[in-house]
Amino acid sequence: MKRFFFLGMMAAMMMPSCQSAPSSNEPSTPTDTVAPVDTVTPPDTIPYRPVALKKQVTHVQPMNGMVLWNDMAASKNSTHGACISLEFAYIPPCKVVTGKSGNSLQYDWTYLDSKLAAAASRGHQMVLRFPLCYPSNRENCIGTKGATYVPDYIRALDNYNETYASNPGGDGPTYYPDWSNAELQWFVKQFYADLAARYATDARIAFLEVGFGHWGEYHTYGTNVKFGTNFPTKAYQRELFVHLSQVMPIPWLVSIDAGDDVYSDVFTNAQTKSLAFGLFDDSFMHAEHDISQGDGWNEQCWRMCGLNRWKLGVCGGEISYYSSNDQRSFLNPDGMYGVTWEQAATKYHMSWIICNDASSGSYFTPARVTEAGIASGYRFRITACETNGVNSRIVVKNTGVAPIYRDAYITVNGVRASESLCGLLPGEQKTFDIRNAVATSENVTITSDFILTSQQIQFDAEL
């Protein structure tokens, strides 16, 4: 594998692109409203008095923490359902795209909707990935081992020709999409536009992983990359990223391997590197993950993608499978390879991590999963709360390791602050004025249209 020198930190980035449209599937509490301006409200010169407020974060927050695949989450739900907030699934496009009529794709969303419904029934949101290339010894949509997830209508085209490798990287038979085909290129862009049109405000979807190559992880290990044949051209990659920035409000992220210029230039191109998207690391915490541990290729990729990328988009990933012990041991409170989960999450500003096989390890107890989950992503503390009998003023600090990447609001008696908590960085605090709402010890909450009605964003307070 090619190695690269550190390309340096990216320039300062804009804040995450937050969205506040209500969810059609998971509506917010009807009483949650943004406070109107009231011209007869007494001026803020009326003295404010402190409000006693004592709260504690006791469970993993929505969109944070340890992540299990759908089937494992179902099997562990009775013991671990309350200590995770997210589930993961690959969704083959060939499972939901049934054809094309004129200029419109035809869909049957049953496969995806059933997974979303099952996760939501357990009180969990989902992280989704829609790969086109899936090395595997298992049969898939067309009953062929390692076949692509390209929809049948494209595969049937006379000018569509896939390539094949028998066992690249030891991962099994692998067919590669034909990236010279104009219809495939059009399809990918239209598919994400249609996905956004249907699910943009669906609170059951938390995050979307995007990418090309093996499993959508931005590499073709074991097979030489051929742009415009088994991998999209760099120009098309940039085109898709810009397209996603325009049509996809669901927070999306790409593999850190996109930082390798063998495959992509999205992190050196001025336009694409400034877009609001995050990163996932699919071999997190392996023995030589960090530069200080040896090879350090993963950390080099993080650096090439930009060490401030987390300020712009969510960061997540999957615990390494380099060793069969990695997933089972990373939750060891004493650490693995000299690093604890808490230290790694802080260094890379991780909001969540897929760790399906950790469930077979001795450290995967509900208490430890909860502890590690709370140490991930955002965590809010109210450092001041006061009212003058008409309006309220609340100061919130993010004591976590990452921002929250969807809109959420300090709310008093059902009245939301006009500004969102989205993008509040770790260590920062902000004052929120809530007009025409009197705070008490019991009516201060955090509400969001992008969590399930069964979920709750908590906060710490000792006032």
Question: pLDDT at residue 31 above 70?
Answer: no
Helices (H), 169-325: 182-199, 234-247, 297-305
Question: pLDDT at residue 9 above 80?
Answer: no
Spell out a b/e string for 361-392, using b for 16 or more CB atoms within 10 Å of the CB, else e: bebbeeebbbbbbbbbbbbbbbbbbbbbebbb
Which residues neighbour 307 within 8 Å (Cβ) at sequence distance 6 or greater?
Answer: 9, 10
Question: pLDDT at residue 14 above 50?
Answer: no
Q: Is the dihedral of CA 60, 63, 68, 72 positive or negative?
A: positive
pLDDT, one tens digit per residue, over 163-206 is 999 999 899 999 999 999 999 999 999 999 999 999 999 999 99
State the average pLDDT for the chain.
Answer: 92
What fold is seen in the domain 65-374?
Answer: TIM Barrel (3.20.20)
pLDDT, one tens digit per residue, over 328-375 is 999 999 999 999 999 999 999 999 999 999 999 999 999 999 999 999
What residues are paired with 220 via a beta bridge? none
Quote the CA–CA distance of 72 and 317 in Å, as a whole number: 17
- Nearest CA among 325, 258, 255 for reference residue 285: 325
- Rounded to 5 degrees, φ, ψ at 52 are -70, 130
pLDDT, one tens digit per residue, over 41-73 is 455 678 999 999 999 999 999 999 999 999 999
Query: Band of the pLDDT at 2, cuts 50, 70, 90?
Result: very low
Question: pLDDT at residue 27 above 70?
Answer: no
User: What H or E segment, with its residue span, contains residue 154?
Assistant: helix 152-155
Q: What's residue 45's pLDDT?
A: 78
Q: What's residue 15's pLDDT?
A: 52
Q: What's residue 34's pLDDT?
A: 52
pTM beyond 0.75: the answer is yes
Q: What's residue 19's pLDDT?
A: 57
Does residue 78 sit in helix, strand or coil?
helix
Quote the CA–CA distance of 124 and 117 in Å, as a whole number: 9
SS3 content of the chain, % helix, strand, coil (to 5): 25, 25, 50
